[in-house]
Chains A and B, each alone.
Chain A
């Protein structure tokens, strides 16, 4: 079943994107073509095949659980759009 603009709008909402109707219409068509193409994987026999989520083969190397100061508060806040000098500032939530 083709992906509709309404479905594209629902997915965009989940992804925190607000797309206008023209864009949704265009996206729906492109998504449909791409997702239909992706469905070619359905013809591959994969029963019993363990999914491969990462090519990493080594065991994760842990580092000592020690407190390390690698940046300052000013560093962290330097790129923030709005701060009060100590914290990130966002619009009122409650």
Chain B
């Protein structure tokens, strides 16, 4: 691995700005790293190396631009987010040939900030899954152990960042899809507050839950990315008309968490959490304590109902959102269709994979006449109670901490045949999306038994990403450095 790809995003960004590294060098270093590691981890669905190199050369010719926060920094984008003139498949056969004619706002902002987009990363089809095994194209492997899942649905982005293929990547988080793969792959993953980042150009899954955010290797790197992609957008009415702080500046300086109160919800620490996960997270809390933070117990009493609530809401919204894929305007069309009804049914049946079909069918069921009140309306009521739990807890603390996942990354195939079991594993990540609040998963060590990375989540008040970023940066400074992933340590696999 070259010295360049070992650098953090902010470090390489600063070297690029000082002309110590050329944009072309940074891009080539990432492309070389991709060539060496991609046959093992299969994180990328589409690589645009020629475009990226041309872009880098043109930028070098013009010279660094101090106005551009990510000038020359190579990044990857989850393939659920539109990048102009690049395939955007959502890891689905139904969008196999879809090439958007516009950039998502988050991508537009990355480009405007000087980032170089290398390509698109793998995901569970339409972001539906927690392991990236539901991709119609390939199964991504965890860079720490190639027989294990990288988590999901942003598993390609997490694996790529962990493997040093790029300096940061965009992911999306509907029920934990940034935070859980970040935890499984040993990276930082930030789900911003609902409304912080425009979703224009993101292929919709659960519209009241979806949020775009960064996966990166440090809190500073995530802060730099969030500062660039955040902000109101007239093309997304859910984006909040609020000022965006400079998150990087907000967390600059010596780590000091005195005055910060961290709540630990009993529901996240007691039952069903593997010992090695609990232990590593406890050590991270001790680190926070050593920096002056106060730890207090809090309660989120409706947590046991979060999985049922989440899947009703998410599947209902998915069934509505995915009705747009009808074989008429874009996407796959079954050529054998003789009638319009045939065209809809055959295109959707052949284009969507099994997990997507399952969610559409259950979503249709919970929204259907006679069941709407019992399922969808009821779930929306419990959703308010879940949100209220957080608002009550935040009266006693500034941030809330708990494990990101009850366990570390598991073997590929282990949960593939049991969808309900897979859904239940999302227990610690989904409440946050229901409440619309920000959350960050940070690596807190490697499991003593498993040798796999462990992630801890930090939840914040609405639009207070700065506090969770500051706390994460502080804790990371005290905890031992995260080693590089072990399963791809070789220089080349060719």
Binding site for B on A (CB under 8 A): 8, 11-12, 14-19, 23, 27, 30-31, 33-35, 37-42, 44, 46, 49-58, 60-61, 63, 70-71, 75-76, 78-82, 88, 90-93
Contact = CB atoms under 8 A, between A and B. Distances in A.
Nearest to B309: A41
Interface of B: 97-102, 194-195, 208, 232, 234, 237-238, 240-242, 302, 304-305, 307-309, 311-312, 319, 323, 326-333, 337-340, 342-346, 348-349, 352, 354, 357-358, 360-366, 368, 374-375, 377-385, 387, 419-420, 423, 434-437, 462
A85 B187 CA distance: 47
**Interface SS, A side:** loop
A30 B358 contact: yes
A7 B365 CA distance: 10
A70 B436 CA distance: 31
Contacts of A18: 345-346, 349
B194 A71 contact: no
Complex A-B, nearest 5 residue pairs according to Cβ-Cβ distance, in ascending order: A55-B436, A51-B380, A81-B333, A79-B330, A52-B384
- Among B349, B361, B385, max chain A CB count under 10 A is at B361
B241 A44 contact: no
A36 to B, nearest CB: 9
- Among A19, A44, A63, max chain B CB count under 10 A is at A44
Contact of A56 (B194, B323, B337, B352): B194
A37 B361 contact: no
B380 A79 contact: no
B368 A14 contact: yes
Contacts of B362: 31, 34-35
A23 B300 CA distance: 39
**Interface SS, B side:** helix
Contacts of B437: 55
Contact of B319 (A15, A56, A82): A15
A41 B348 contact: no
A50 B380 CA distance: 8
Contacts of A70: 102
B195 A17 contact: no
Nearest to A61: B241
Contacts of A30: 358, 419-420
Nearest to B195: A56
A49 B302 CA distance: 14
A88 B330 CA distance: 10
A61 B326 contact: no
Given A44-B385, A61-B237, A80-B330, A17 B380 contact: no
A55 B385 contact: no
B361 A27 contact: yes
A88 B329 contact: yes
21 contacts: A8-B361, A31-B358, A31-B361, A35-B362, A37-B308, A38-B311, A42-B374, A44-B378, A44-B381, A44-B385, A46-B378, A52-B381, A54-B238, A55-B194, A56-B195, A56-B238, A61-B237, A75-B101, A79-B97, A91-B338, A91-B342
Contacts of A19: 349, 357
Contact of B385 (A14, A17, A46): A46
A94 to B, nearest CB: 10
A64 B357 CA distance: 39
A34 B423 contact: yes
Given A17-B349, A51-B380, A44 B305 contact: yes
